Structure 1
Amino acid sequence: MSVFNLKKMVCKKGVFAGFALAFVVINICFASSVLLANYTNITVSVERSASNIINFTIEAQSENISQVQFRILGSQNFDPDLFEVNSNGTTATGAYFSNISVSSGGGGGNHVEIITFTNTSGAGIIKNETTQNFWFSIFGRSMPMGDMNVTINITGVSGDLNDTNEVVFAMTFRFSGYVKNETGGYQNQTNVSLYKFEQVPNGPPIETFAGSTLTNGNGAFTLSGLPVAGNPNYVLKMIYYNGSGIATKVGSILPPFPGQMYYPQAFSGAFEFMRPPSLNGTTFYIGPAATINITATNGSNRQLFGYMVMEQGTGFPLSSNQMGNNSEVQVIVPTNRIYTIMLGRFNNQFANGAECNGNFMNDTTCGTPPKSNSTLNPTIAGQKIDVQLDMRINRVQMYGCIGVAGNSSVITNVTSILPRMMPWTGFVPPMRADTQDIDLTSDLQLNYSDARCPGKIARYNISLLNSNYLVEVYGRNSSEELVAEWVGAFQNASFEGQDASTNNNVNITLGQLAGNFVESSGTGDTNRSKFVVRIQNSTGGAITQDTPNVNLYVKNSIFGELNFIIEGFTNGTFTIALPLNSTVKAKVFSNNAPPTEKKVNLSTKELNITLTTMAGGDAGFKKTNASGGVERINVTNSDFDIAMRFIRNSAECNILNPPSDCILTSMDVDGFNPFSALVAGKINMEMRMKKTNVSITFFNFDMLSAKQPPMESVMNNEASGGSGSAPVWEFGSFVPADVYDYAVVSIPYNDTAINDSATINISVNNLYDSDWNMVWNKSRGDTSLNVTSDVDDYIGNSNNRSYNSSGYRNLLGGGVECSNSNFSVSTTATSTYCSVNTSANMIYMRVPHFSGVAPLVSGSAPVAASSSSSSSSSSGGGGVSAYNIYSYDEKDFSLYSDINKALGKDDKIKVKINNESHSVTIYSLTNTSVVIKVASTIQTANFSIGDSNKFDVNDDDYYDLRVALNSISNSKADITVSYLHESISTTTLTAEVVNTPASTVTSGLPSTDETSTDSSMFWYIIISLIIIMIVVIYFLTRKFFSKGLNSRVNVLG
């Protein structure tokens, strides 16, 4: 389409819609004492990191124009808007073109592109009362902060200038990615939508539709033309609808993110995981979804409501508009989870005057405290659940005496009574939920002298709704608030389903509070003593953007167990009132840092929680050190090269070595971006040290709540102690308990240290808390009865997730014998708690949720091990024999070229064939020959220099490997390992068969008995004679058939 046609359409219609840009006509007249001109611009925005055509139509209105100059402003030298060479053009004849770039002030200074069209002859480039078009391309800056401005200067043939005019071009960006389903396949026709998210003071946030698209057949999508002005926040939503328009799959539930996180940012020279996180290019995983349809009534008529939909496992809100005014809401949620729906009409959104009493309180125009349904558990993709809550309420009475214990001064004032409605047992929402009509100045509600409460501070009598509450009561002595002794109580109160005016007598005892005095933060809060928690990055700075979800698990003898959901952050800090005699753990779920769990010491009055911020080589991983503590691992160091695998969670994949079609995605940690793979559901998550295959695999790991992989883990390439046949290893993970079901730790061993033909036993030597303090020690006589909640979140739980449950209890006692045949980890059978793979030389130990665990391997040393002269640090574990493992098992061996390595004694090459691990090991070595062991099906062969042998490693009657000994030098055997798929029973005769070496392939280890050696030599001679006879027959037969028969001779071998 020509420029003239564009102008004509613009002038006629006013607006022209193109592929991705909206073109708006802008007419501004240039005016001076002499020169008059007019321009039209059809471009309203430019895209970052992309080529943008800028097109102007200039009209001369008072004289011929000799020069038109455009200045491109608004960018900086380190990230400029650049003119694209040879992109300029004009409809004017005889125009000369020039372009210069002007920079000032260093990298942070301003960058200007000056583009000039000129002809100083009398005719100029635009004759009076005519128009000409001018165009050029600008490649937009990568960081679109601010607008791009273009100033236009026009000169007439008389030399007169127009007044400079400026055109503002808004910067936009495009956002791209991929969508896969729960099986790892790309998902087409998925609706991908972005919504601009704005917080509104004293009101609900607003989501404004910004754009949507469908994924193509390769699961790819691109959204373009997205505005970046003002650095808005955006919310991403992904839903797949089937042919009937029913939502059957949904993506990760993500919070609002700043606009710059949706496009790639230009930061070079750093490992991927150290760069600012970006959602652009991410692979998003969607999983089975159901729809919850929500309405409310007052028993007969529909009611308006605000709402919150919460996943119970973590208290994570999936959808929320608590201050809304809705008549019906549909929320699409992942299946196989339990959800709570909370509805309410809050007082600052609805009236709460005198008329809102009695039956009229339930009318749409009056505020109503939250009502909830906590039994929703969709299990089928595409399922629709209709939920209608009755918003009617009854009032009941709660009264009793208020006493005090553990105080150091006389408590004289009850300062506040705060009821918190609990939607389900043990869950404390972040907001107050009552009618806020408690008046402690009324003797009817609080009386300090009452004969019914002798020896107590006061008697209270309050009216609540027939629901479940956590009632908080606070008091202090007579001193000023800042220096006063503060006390408090937290009382469970269950009134669900009670009739109106039911009386409930509940006595309350105040006790010591953690922390220091903190003033009220506003409505719904009160002055009291509080504990302070700061969420900070690795440099000690406050986390002020992308505030994480924080849950506090609190255990106390009075109220049992409570989970507090934290929302009120100020500069990364929140405060909370807690009983001093409580056990508390903080669970932190961040969008761009690994999830973490931290024990809270309430006696310290405050706590700093440091999140991994992926800088300076720090990805969260740690290792134990010589002093018994832990230190950070720099994952950019090749010795600590760590790989991650995201594995499907299913019956066929919940095994120790899952097949390749179970792998959703994999990556190295130093190439990991926190948003590179956003999985919506539960998976198995493997973290593996590539040098030794030491690993931790978390089963049923919940990516919806965790948001990021469990990189806050402790691993090492070597055992931390013990002996060769009884090494002690140490593993750690600071992932919150609710995120996964159990884990499997993988421990390598050396054949020269442990005889895997004999029994191998594994047990727990030590347990550590989240600060790596030893809290359980087998050597000092600790038993399962000594396990505390510091290391075991599920003590007394019947779901086989505790060290004290039947499945794991043996690990704390005499240990568990490792099975060499059962590689399942999903049952409660004893054989699934330890397995040994003798071909891969790996031991697998299954453990429940843990902060730190030290497995003790107990095995028998091989008889030959006592004569071994090698003794140095081992890269394979056990700490007794120096050997190397060369792993080529990232993909099937058939996809590799030949492997050529110089191996010393006990060095090993590992490969994967048909998803099974196999190994080639130098068992013994002399100056002229070697013995090589091949496993899984253990076979050994004697090699002289120049020999080669074929091996069937999986008993399928096909050769799978060829091993050739090329040379021996400096106690190293130079071997080549090649992939084969060659039938054993009908091997075609080739030159290789004629050249078959004089070597022997046997099962088991080579004998050292002298008689056996003589017998082997006898059979060696016989077999050699037979081979010679076969070769002679072959050549005679070949000569005969060559006279006219076109046939091939197969020799059975």
Structure 2
Amino acid sequence: MVKISIVLLFLLLSLVLVPSAFAFPFNGTVTDVNGIALNNTYINVTIRDSNFNIVGYNSTTTNASGWFNMTVTEVSGGLYQPNIIHYNGSVVDFVGQVLPAFPAEIFTYQLDQTKFYLKPAGTIIITVINSTSSNVSFRYQVKDVKLGYPVAEGFTNPVANVTLYLPRDRNYSIMVYPAASMPISFNWNNFTATESYTINSISNYNVTTRTLQKQFNTTLRLDRVSGYINFSGINIWSSFRVIPYLMEPGNIIHVTRGTLPFNLSAFNGETDVFTPTTGFYNISLPATTETSNMMLFATATNGSFFYGAFKNVSLSYNNPAAELQLSNISMFGLLGASGNITQDTTTGGLINFTTGVQQFNLLNSTNASLTNVFAHVQAKVDYSNFGSIEFTWMATIQQGAAAVFSLPLINATGVKKIDLFVSGGESNYAPKSISKTAAEIRTNSSIAFAAFNPQAIDTSLAASAISMALYLSNATCDVPNPSSDCLLGGSQTMDSFKPMSAIVGGGKLSFRMGTGSIKVHYVNVDMLASGPPDVLFDSSTTASASASTFDAAVRFGSGGPTMYDYVLVSMPYTETAGSGLDDSQNVNISIPTLYDENWKVIWNVTTNGTNSTNLAANNSHYSAFAEQWGFLLKSSTCTTNQSLQNTTTPCYIDTSNNVLWVRLPHFSGTGPSVTGTAVAASSPNNGGGGSSSSSSASSAGSLPPEVSSEKEITISLPEPTTTEGKTQFQKVLAHLKEGTKAKFTIKTSTKTTIEEHTITATRIAPSFANFVISSIPQEVILNKGASKELDVDDDTINDLRLTLIDLNYALRFVNVSMELLTVGRAEITREPEVAPQLPEKSVETSVPVPLPVEALPVEEQRALSLVYWVVGILSLIVLMIIFIKIKKLLHETKKKK
């Protein structure tokens, strides 16, 4: 479901803008992962009507060059699902990735001439038998273990057997739902086996055909499980219940669909026992031949207080014990407030039990509740020190429902990690990953989402200022400066980026995005599993230097789950005399500071040290790659050969382009530090008979007193005045250092409140300068002497006139004039233009130079108007049809368990 929602979000605008076809072509080229054409590949398109019922098929095969071209029959409101497989005789040896069903328009306007990369295939054949070895019909679901989403499922109608062709470079969990029996599971992680072998008497793996024959045995018995719940100081409970949940492979529990039926003892003519006066329980649970893991949630009330605890259990049919005596269960307080947990009954009804559940609210960036969104939630808790194990709650929010989810959580600890995937509604949201302590949950359980908007820290960027590109993912292409052969479709700006063809093609892809010289390269990113993470980075470096040292730090981070192998992040540097980096000397990098998702420091090597084992022990987010973080915490010398960059040499310096690249295991909040030798300052002419030359880059000197070196300054802008119907504007002259944020307020006769805004000179070139004006972000590029009237509050009325009077490229500051404007002025009376001379002005021409093509203005750009991310009304209808259908199928599955 996550995969379906993310893929469709790439397509939304297409559905709104293009007309329907009566029949449509589908064509492309099929190769293996190395680009070798696959002849006689079978392409099948399943045709579904608006109710998602299968109404037909179209198919064809490729020619010797891997090319195919077919016509697909259209039905009213239809959806069309492609499936691509290659046979070697009777064995499937290559397979395309599993794709959702698309509307017809997508094939015509997005997937035309797509190149499909097929992966080596493995086959899984599933059957189910009962205790008499008779075949049993079943429903099923197969998940990719790493990504956590289904790659194959059959919930509509029960089947007697199923054959699946899947990429064999992944691990899979198989869950079957047999008719009139307990759901059972099997983990498969051995497509890499080099020899055939027998798993048990009814299952085996054939390495020649790469086929797993998995037959499930539904034989089970109900065993009695008993014990006591206890809590210090409480001898009698008001009420209590032990609720069993089914644990899927990977210790995943669905919070609403995971409960087993209440009072399973009724199947044996008995009853479950709960005795509040003693805390004694005695219940029946299934003991299965196959793997069947359960989590017991013991929950109780004492007056108005809620208590709970978790206990994992797995009962084997081969253990003939009539009763299993468990250890007593120690209870804890529960987070949250009163809520219900619902179980099916053995007679077909429903029963609720009231306990404590913690509600989490999903909000937008203005703290308003998200509306009309679909959300997939995975919340990992670690209760290994509290009588249980580490496991993951899974929850789903359907479109149209309130954007909240609730979990039963003990108050002794928090949530280790919550991964959230949200789609639909008014915006496209980047996936989010957070952790929360119990104290943080009690204080604020809301989770805020920003619309997908890569940005600088504390500021926004125009969509056209952000570059995006897809690359082939391999050892040759996953480098700082890959060849043009690696690029798929060309690099584009964010407002024109349309990656569907490359993503659906199924090859190993890397995704690169950034602004200017700051880039993030995600290696082998799975963009079907989720959209690209929402990147934060400083739009410029900060530097401090003495005569012999250079020190620059850039913070960068991301709020999305890890859906890639690792990342490469670039940081530009300068070679300015006296302060720039001398890249002819050794350059070292380290990451002394780590941040959480709110940019709160969680690790500082000065305080916490450089031991990565301690880092992993205190911050589980870093445990999977502790060894790699160990190299990053300590200082290491940057290599000048990009092919030598690896986990132990994480830094590469590109001296040709003045860019540093650092390799990170995942893109979390980090504060890298770069150290090296500063470029020597120029020596002035001492008049001693010699001569020296100077340039604008080396005759800088120090900043004049008129230019503040502070990071933030405040500018006071007086209001315009009107006399006898004529408006006179009050011009304010200001010096702005590159990177300094200047605050100013607007309060004119047409405004009801004072509005605060900022202006920053983000780049100063020899003849022009870039400015970013917020709070409604827009970027302006001005030649010397040029002016621009700006609407700073997005009300279609120009509020500010900005003029670039002069600039000092050597010292990186500008001289600007700023004037507040009013609405409906009858006549403009301008004051004389006053342009004071810049002190110690560098030697450079004052003749305006035309802007280069790449520096043309990107005026009126808005980060929230990202065209291809917009959710159209028609698109929401398509999403809702699919999600409603999935919801219906899952509901039917639950009823038939």
Alpha-carbon deviation of 1:337? 0.8
Distance in structure 1 (CA, Å) of the matches to 2:232 and 2:104: 53
Alpha-carbon deviation of 1:142? 4.8
SS class of match (1:477): strand
1:756 aligns to 2:594 (yes or no): no
Alpha-carbon deviation of 1:548? 4.6
Residue type at the aligned position of 1:518? G
Distance in structure 2 (CA, Å) of the matches to 1:405 and 1:280: 68
1:746 aligns to 2:570 (yes or no): yes
SS class of match (2:485): helix
Match of 1:632 among 450, 460, 482: 460
Contact 2:143-2:151 at 8 Å conserved across structures: yes
Structure 1 pair 224–306 and aligned structure 2 pair: CA distance change class (3 A) = closer
1:836 aligns to 2:649 (yes or no): no
Match of 1:644 among 450, 469, 479: 469
Of 833-842 and 583-592, more deviation after overlay is shown by 583-592
Aligned residue in 1 for 2:310: 490
Contact 1:295-1:389 at 8 Å conserved across structures: yes
Aligned residue in 2 for 1:809: 630
Distance in structure 2 (CA, Å) of the matches to 1:317 and 1:566: 15
Distance in structure 1 (CA, Å) of the matches to 2:219 and 2:74: 45
Match of 2:212 among 378, 385, 389: 385
SS class of match (2:321): coil
Alpha-carbon deviation of 1:263? 6.2
1:251 aligns to 2:96 (yes or no): yes
- Report 1:209-224 matches (<5 A): 209=56, 211-212=58-59, 219=67, 221=69, 223-224=71-72
Match of 1:577 among 408, 414, 418: 408
Alpha-carbon deviation of 1:493? 1.6
1:477 aligns to 2:291 (yes or no): no
Residue type at the aligned position of 1:195? I
Contact 1:533-1:609 at 8 Å conserved across structures: no
Match of 2:389 among 560, 563, 582: 560
Distance in structure 2 (CA, Å) of the matches to 1:680 and 1:433: 39
Alpha-carbon deviation of 1:866? 7.3
Structure 1 pair 690–478 and aligned structure 2 pair: CA distance change class (3 A) = closer
Contact 1:695-1:715 at 8 Å conserved across structures: no
Aligned residue in 2 for 1:174: 24
Match of 1:735 among 560, 563, 566: 560
TM-score (norm 1): 0.54
Distance in structure 2 (CA, Å) of the matches to 1:684 and 1:847: 18
Q: Which has the larger radius of gyration?
A: 1
SS class of match (2:390): strand
Distance in structure 1 (CA, Å) of the matches to 2:310 and 2:683: 65
TM-score (norm 2): 0.63
Structure 1 pair 822–143 and aligned structure 2 pair: CA distance change class (3 A) = closer
- Report 1:628-1027 matches (<5 A): 631-636=459-464, 640-649=465-474, 651-668=475-492, 669-673=494-498, 675-679=500-504, 683=508, 685-689=510-514, 691-692=516-517, 694-706=518-530, 708-710=531-533, 712-720=534-542, 722-723=544-545, 725-737=550-562, 739-752=563-576, 753-780=580-607, 783-784=610-611, 787=615, 792-795=620-623, 797=624, 801-802=625-626, 805=627, 807-813=628-634, 815-821=635-641, 823-826=643-646, 828=647, 830=648, 832-864=649-681, 868-870=698-700, 970=845
Distance in structure 1 (CA, Å) of the matches to 2:135 and 2:23: 43
Structure 1 pair 500–261 and aligned structure 2 pair: CA distance change class (3 A) = farther
Contact 2:299-2:309 at 8 Å conserved across structures: no
**Structure 1 residues 335-386: Cα deviation after superposition (integer angstroms, max 9, x where no partner):** 2111111122244xxxxxxxxxxxxxxxxxxx34324344453689973332
Distance in structure 1 (CA, Å) of the matches to 2:240 and 2:766: 70
Contact 2:337-2:358 at 8 Å conserved across structures: yes
**Structure 1 residues 509-560: Cα deviation after superposition (integer angstroms, max 9, x where no partner):** 2322233323456747744332334556778574646x35432222233333
Alpha-carbon deviation of 1:585? 2.2
Contact 2:128-2:178 at 8 Å conserved across structures: no
Distance in structure 2 (CA, Å) of the matches to 1:590 and 1:512: 31
Distance in structure 2 (CA, Å) of the matches to 1:293 and 1:338: 15
Contact 2:50-2:76 at 8 Å conserved across structures: no
Alpha-carbon deviation of 1:179? 5.3
Aligned residue in 1 for 2:284: 462
Contact 1:414-1:473 at 8 Å conserved across structures: no
Aligned residue in 1 for 2:787: none
Residue type at the aligned position of 1:793? H
SS class of match (1:678): helix
**Structure 1 residues 146-168: Cα deviation after superposition (integer angstroms, max 9, x where no partner):** xxxxxxxxxxxxxxxxxxxxxxx
Number of residue pairs matched?
648
Residue type at the aligned position of 2:418? A
SS class of match (1:808): helix
Distance in structure 2 (CA, Å) of the matches to 1:773 and 1:624: 13
Structure 1 pair 263–682 and aligned structure 2 pair: CA distance change class (3 A) = closer
Which runs of 5 or more structure 2 residues have no equivalent in the other structure? 1-13, 194-206, 345-349, 685-697, 704-736, 740-760, 769-782, 784-808, 811-842, 850-897
1:196 aligns to 2:25 (yes or no): no
**Structure 1 residues 474-521: Cα deviation after superposition (integer angstroms, max 9, x where no partner):** 434365xxxx43222221223356423262423212322233323456
Residue type at the aligned position of 2:540? E
Residue type at the aligned position of 2:257? M
Residue type at the aligned position of 1:393? L
SS class of match (1:726): strand
Aligned residue in 2 for 1:290: 122
Structure 1 pair 283–414 and aligned structure 2 pair: CA distance change class (3 A) = farther
Distance in structure 2 (CA, Å) of the matches to 1:432 and 1:854: 41
Paired-residue identity, %: 22
Aligned residue in 1 for 2:82: 237
Structure 1 pair 220–317 and aligned structure 2 pair: CA distance change class (3 A) = same
SS class of match (1:823): helix
Distance in structure 1 (CA, Å) of the matches to 2:208 and 2:457: 45
Aligned residue in 1 for 2:434: 598
SS class of match (1:499): coil
Distance in structure 2 (CA, Å) of the matches to 1:187 and 1:667: 28
Aligned residue in 1 for 2:356: 529
Distance in structure 2 (CA, Å) of the matches to 1:286 and 1:525: 48
Alpha-carbon deviation of 1:321? 1.8
Distance in structure 1 (CA, Å) of the matches to 2:94 and 2:361: 37
SS class of match (1:253): coil
Alpha-carbon deviation of 1:853? 0.7
Higher RCO, Cα 8 Å, sep 6+:
2
Distance in structure 1 (CA, Å) of the matches to 2:476 and 2:233: 56
**Structure 1 residues 82-104: Cα deviation after superposition (integer angstroms, max 9, x where no partner):** xxxxxxxxxxxxxxxxxxxxxxx
Contact 1:491-1:508 at 8 Å conserved across structures: yes
**Structure 1 residues 779-815: Cα deviation after superposition (integer angstroms, max 9, x where no partner):** 55554466368965242x4xxx13xx2x3314324x1
Alpha-carbon deviation of 1:207? 4.0
Contact 1:759-1:859 at 8 Å conserved across structures: yes
Distance in structure 1 (CA, Å) of the matches to 2:605 and 2:418: 28
Aligned residue in 2 for 1:228: 76
Distance in structure 1 (CA, Å) of the matches to 2:445 and 2:233: 21
Structure 1 pair 610–793 and aligned structure 2 pair: CA distance change class (3 A) = same
Alpha-carbon deviation of 1:730? 1.3
Alpha-carbon deviation of 1:681? 5.7
Structure 1 pair 555–288 and aligned structure 2 pair: CA distance change class (3 A) = same
Distance in structure 1 (CA, Å) of the matches to 2:543 and 2:616: 25
Contact 1:622-1:713 at 8 Å conserved across structures: yes
Structure 1 pair 756–865 and aligned structure 2 pair: CA distance change class (3 A) = farther
Distance in structure 1 (CA, Å) of the matches to 2:60 and 2:565: 37
Alpha-carbon deviation of 1:416? 4.4
Aligned residue in 1 for 2:162: 329
Distance in structure 2 (CA, Å) of the matches to 1:880 and 1:228: 52
Which runs of 5 or more structure 1 residues have no equivalent in the other structure? 1-78, 80-139, 145-170, 200-204, 265-277, 348-366, 451-455, 613-618, 626-630, 887-901, 903-923, 926-967, 975-1053
Alpha-carbon deviation of 1:316? 1.0
Of 367-376 and 335-344, more deviation after overlay is shown by 367-376
Structure 1 pair 391–225 and aligned structure 2 pair: CA distance change class (3 A) = same
Structure 1 pair 302–515 and aligned structure 2 pair: CA distance change class (3 A) = same
Structure 1 pair 488–544 and aligned structure 2 pair: CA distance change class (3 A) = same
Match of 1:610 among 442, 449, 461: 449
